[in-house]
Structure 1
Amino acid sequence: MARTRFVNDRGLTARMTLVMFLLGGLFVALIVGLMYAFGSSPGIVLLIGLGGIGVAFYQWYSSDKLAMRAMRAREVTPEEAPELHGMIDRLCALADMPKPRVGIADMDLPNAFATGRSPDRAVVCVTTGILQRLTTEELEGVLAHELSHVAHRDVLVMTVASSAGIVAGMLTRGAQFGGLGLLGGRRNNNNGGAPAVLVAIVVSLVVYAISFVLLRLLSRYRELCADRSGAYLTMKPAALASALQKITGEMATIPQRDLRASSSMNAFFIAPAISGATLKTLTSTHPSLEQRLEQLARIQAELGRPTA
């Protein structure tokens, strides 16, 4: 983690560490399963593993470009967006962190995201819709949330955590199409190629399913951590709570085609672009609005108590 003044939460950190440990165990289980299924062809296991790591590395390394392109966003200079840059300058000074690049996406959808392979290569992007709807204090709370993601290297954390799922997904597709030489594992051993493929598919499907749930659990923890860190940085948790309520409420006014067009960015957004639906716990990348507001209310009460 980058050295900043963002407040840590030991409880959340412990839970995130546990989830990362379980995801690491899944990756090991997947590799062991592959080695068992294709013991006579270790090159296949190596190829699949390197392929998955390569895909994850590309997603991490190019995360800023991919996200900006997906949102049709552009980087803006201090001359083009002086107020936005000034706000980020102040927050970065408070957090003692490098200033990321600043982007704006010209769309009515009220949202914001941060991404990038490191704090030095990060970008914080807001939409014109969120700039039009939020007050200065509310926007400051949103930006503090996004800067927390940058400071804690959340893109790197989530990329590493997704490795097992990526490899499992690649294996399943490869087996379906007979790619990567999967049918050659134990073909010469009493026609054992087909059973080897079945073992590999079953193992990969189980790993992918468990990884899917754990990744979303980890994502929800990191969103709560960013809410908490951002609220303590600005010392205005009520402003972030108000912003989240506005953003979520405004989703109902956005055409469904625009929400669908931005759905690939939901994991990055401060609030998912979904209207009129309560996200299921196991599949949601974000905590429920109620859970986020409850945490912010507790922080507001704590900050409001006089010190002894």
Structure 2
Amino acid sequence: MARTRYAADRGLTSRMVVTMFLLGLVYVAFVAAFFAIAPGWGLVALAVAVAILLAQYFFSDRLTLFAMHGREVSPREAPELHGVVDRICAMSDAPKPRVAVADTDVPNAFATGRNQKRAVLCVTTGLLRRLDPVELEGVLAHEMSHIAHRDVAVMTIASFLGVCAGLITRFGLEWGLWGGFGRRNGDQNAGLVLLAVVLVSAVAYAISFLLTRALSRYRELSADRAAALLTGRPSALASALTKVSGELARIPSRDLRAAEPFNAFFFAPALAKGFSVSALFSTHPPLERRLAQLQQISARLGRGL
């Protein structure tokens, strides 16, 4: 992590180390099992997954901005927004990211980019209309803590196994449904080999999915904590969280579904009403958990701790 004035978080570091260690064990087990079953498939899947990983790692800023229809804005175009970002940069001693605005009524913000030099901080017009300057400062401090901790790069690398295993599972199932499970090749039962490949990949995907989602939830808590301590106003961040979550509940489900694929980047998750896998395996902790942490920080700051 680059040197900034964001408070160090030993919990974040330990959680990352433990999660990465567990992911490493899953990597080793998955690769060993997969190459023992079907080494040819492993090379193809690995090549595809590496290509996807590199694209996400090197072009995450451009891809996310393009998908969200974000547009970089100059200080002349958005003086108040740039003023808040400049103030946070001065407080955190961090380099200023590029600033962008996405024209959508969904109130949210996100930061992307593999490092501080490539970082982009984007807010929606819906967020700018709803938050006052103090609340906006808390939200942007939260997002800039993600940049300081290089969370985008960390999560991209952490999700590599899931991408690889997910591709193998999908292609294996499609091939199997087209008759691959019943094919025989000499003495080798190709159908059983394909089934074993799909099962191993599915298990690896499920485990890596749970681990990366757990890491994602904790990094959101860590970003809340870092922003609250940096600004000294945890109540402002709590107010922004409450306001954004309440406003998201009023957004049409169609717009929320369009935004859901980007939940991992967002300040608050955009969840459509009704049953959703995102509600069970969310990229973000529950609102109550985030507010409780901010209340504890507020109490400690009030006691001068």
> What amino acid is aligned across from residue 69 of structure 2 in structure 1?
R
Alpha-carbon deviation of 1:177? 4.0
* Paired residues of 2:234 and 2:295 also in contact (CA < 8 A): yes
Q: What is the CA deviation profile of residues 206-258 of structure 1, one whole-angstrom value per residue up to 9, with x for unaligned ones?
A: 01111111111111001001101111111111100000000001112211211
Q: What SS is found at the alignment partner of 1:33? A: helix
* Paired residues of 1:217 and 1:282 also in contact (CA < 8 A): no
Alpha-carbon deviation of 1:173? 2.4
Supply the distance in 2 between the matched residues of 1:77 and 1:295 (Cα, whole angstroms).
Answer: 35
Q: What SS is found at the alignment partner of 1:110? A: coil
* Paired residues of 1:103 and 1:124 also in contact (CA < 8 A): yes
Q: What SS is found at the alignment partner of 1:104? A: strand
* Paired residues of 2:271 and 2:279 also in contact (CA < 8 A): no
Q: Aligned residue for 1:67? A: 64
Supply the distance in 2 between the matched residues of 1:189 and 1:27 (Cα, whole angstroms).
Answer: 31
Structure 1 pair 267–162 and aligned structure 2 pair: CA distance change class (3 A): same
Alpha-carbon deviation of 1:277? 6.3
Alpha-carbon deviation of 1:83? 1.1
Q: Aligned residue for 1:168? A: 165
- Farther off after superposition, 52-61 or 71-80: 52-61
Is 1:95 aligned to residue 92 of structure 2? yes
Q: What SS is found at the alignment partner of 2:209? A: helix
Supply the distance in 2 between the matched residues of 1:209 and 1:74 (Cα, whole angstroms).
Answer: 36
Is 1:146 aligned to residue 148 of structure 2? no
Q: What is the CA deviation profile of residues 37-62 of structure 1, one whole-angstrom value per residue up to 9, with x for unaligned ones?
A: 02xxx443233222212211111211
Residue segments in structure 1 that go unaligned for 5+ positions in a row: none
> What amino acid is aligned across from residue 3 of structure 1 in structure 2?
R
Residue segments in structure 2 that go unaligned for 5+ positions in a row: none
Q: What is the CA deviation profile of residues 166-189 of structure 1, one whole-angstrom value per residue up to 9, with x for unaligned ones?
A: 11011122323449xxx8xxx767
Supply the distance in 2 between the matched residues of 1:20 and 1:225 (Cα, whole angstroms).
Answer: 17
Supply the distance in 1 between the matched residues of 2:272 and 2:243 (Cα, whole angstroms).
Answer: 13
Q: TM-score, normalised by structure 2?
A: 0.92
Supply the distance in 1 between the matched residues of 2:304 and 2:83 (Cα, whole angstroms).
Answer: 31
Alpha-carbon deviation of 1:299? 0.7
- Farther off after superposition, 268-277 or 75-84: 268-277
* Paired residues of 1:24 and 1:161 also in contact (CA < 8 A): no
Supply the distance in 2 between the matched residues of 1:293 and 1:251 (Cα, whole angstroms).
Answer: 17
Q: What is the CA deviation profile of residues 246-282 of structure 1, one whole-angstrom value per residue up to 9, with x for unaligned ones?
A: 0001112211211111111111110011255698775
- 1:265 pairs with 249, 257, 262, which one? 262
Structure 1 pair 73–144 and aligned structure 2 pair: CA distance change class (3 A): same
Q: Aligned residue for 2:242? A: 245
Identity over aligned pairs, percent:
55
Structure 1 pair 245–277 and aligned structure 2 pair: CA distance change class (3 A): farther
Q: What SS is found at the alignment partner of 2:188? A: coil
* Paired residues of 1:216 and 1:282 also in contact (CA < 8 A): no
Supply the distance in 2 between the matched residues of 1:201 and 1:276 (Cα, whole angstroms).
Answer: 32
Structural mapping, 1:51-62, within 5 Å: 51-62=48-59
Q: Aligned residue for 1:24? A: 24
Q: What SS is found at the alignment partner of 2:117? A: helix
* Paired residues of 2:253 and 2:273 also in contact (CA < 8 A): no
